């Protein structure tokens, strides 16, 4: 149980927080989207456009299996990764899943100028975020064993995550 997997909605700060935790603890940081991009040579946006969401989810499942064979990682999962039972099962075997909980208003604000997330390139973005969050939040809660309040700046939230790692 050596890895930490950060889960939560797009824009909740998984990657920024993961990077800070990595710097402060020496754990290796892996951003799952970047991992898939490096492996395929395509951006997430291109994978969605050229091959569709199902292919992206297949690559994501593959990434979960590969990363779960490794140790001492801090992993930023994608916003959809932990909404699939198979991924929860695989990742929770080798690590603790931490849910970074950010409220709807903050997420809408943080994501308002996003151009690269395929699921958010719709006319009524805030409505899309609201609908997705409503479905996903209970799933993130079920998938994780630890929840942190993500409505603070990234260094504060990273501090909470490091607190989880320290032996009591
Ligand atoms: C997705 C979130 C994205 C990326 C893909 C799908 C999702 O990751 O994996 O666009 O389903 O919520 P981030 O949460 O890092 O933006």
Q: How much distance in Å is there from the Cα of 163 to the middle of ligand 1?
A: 26
Q: What is the pLDDT of residues 52-82, one digit of tens each?
A: 999 999 999 999 999 999 999 999 999 999 9
Mean pLDDT over 17-40 rounds to: 97
Looking at the CA of residue 15, tell me the nearest atom of ligand 1: 15
The share of the chain scoring above pLDDT 70, in percent, equals 98
Mean pLDDT over 111-117 rounds to: 96
Domains of the chain: 3-151 (3.40.50.300)
Q: Is 137 in the pocket of ligand 1 (CB under 6 A)?
A: no
Mean pLDDT over 125-148 rounds to: 98
**DSSP state letter for 68:** T
Q: Is 57 in the pocket of ligand 1 (CB under 6 A)?
A: no
pLDDT at site 128:
98
What pairs with residue 97 in β-bridges?
Answer: 5
In this structure, the number of other CB atoms found within 10 A of the CB of residue 3 comes to: 22
Q: Is 104 in the pocket of ligand 1 (CB under 6 A)?
A: no
Strand 95-101: give its sheet, edge to edge: 28-31, 73-76, 3-7, 95-101, 146-149
């Amino acid at each position: 149980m050596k890895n930490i997997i950060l889960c939560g909605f797009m824009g909740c700060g998984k990657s920024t927080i993961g990077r800070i935790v990595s710097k402060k603890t020496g754990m290796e940081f892996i951003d799952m989207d970047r991992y898939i991009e490096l492996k395929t040579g395509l951006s997430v946006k291109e994978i969605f456009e050229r091959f569709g969401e199902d292919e992206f989810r297949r690559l994501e499942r593959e990434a979960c299996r590969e990363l779960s064979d490794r140790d001492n990682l801090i992993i930023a999962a994608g916003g959809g990764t932990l909404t699939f039972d198979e991924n929860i099962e695989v990742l929770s075997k080798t690590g603790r899943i931490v849910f970074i909980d950010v409220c709807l208003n903050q997420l809408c604000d943080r994501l308002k100028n996003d151009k690269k997330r395929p699921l958010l390139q719709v006319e009524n973005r805030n409505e899309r975020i609201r609908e997705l969050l409503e479905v996903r939040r209970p799933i993130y809660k079920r998938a994780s064993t630890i929840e942190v309040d993500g409505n603070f700046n990234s260094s504060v939230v990273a501090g909470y995550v490091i607190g989880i790692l320290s032996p009591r």
